[in-house]
Structure 1
């Protein structure tokens, strides 16, 4: 199997996973065509239970024109439990601001 085929299979397998560690983020830093994500915790907490689950984050991000945001969720989910609490969001959202993916609060 040559290296091109191996690379294509690897790329396909990573693309197909589209879970927590996806690489399909479509927004380029500073791209004015895609709006920045909101910095308001409550906007992501759709079920108002005091936490943000992956599905909630993806739904909100998709509404702002963002695709493949699983890896972005992982940036703010510092304990890697699939849930972001308000304190965790506040401590880690600056990372998304620095990447020009989220509005500055």
Structure 2
């Protein structure tokens, strides 16, 4: 619950900061390379996590049935990672379409 509150408050804080900041669109071009690197890393993490979960469920399914972690935890984490990657890709495409990243 605390994590969800922190995530919401952090997102709102960053959004308010961006809307109140005076910057030129030409300055946003400096974030293009880090944004591509982060988006690529997020995609690799989702693919590798999916591969890891498939391998674990195939070769060591007993690892999903421990006291601390169950398969729903792994699947929830993977879904959150996938959603984050999709939202980052949508943001990247919208920035490219609007001419911010060109």
- Tell me the TM-score normalised to structure 1 length: 0.30
Q: Say which one has the larger Rg.
A: 2
Structure with the largest fraction of strand: 1
- Tell me the TM-score normalised to structure 2 length: 0.31
Give the structure, 1 or 2, with the largest relative contact order (CA under 8 Å, sep 6 or more): 2
Structure with the largest fraction of helix: 2
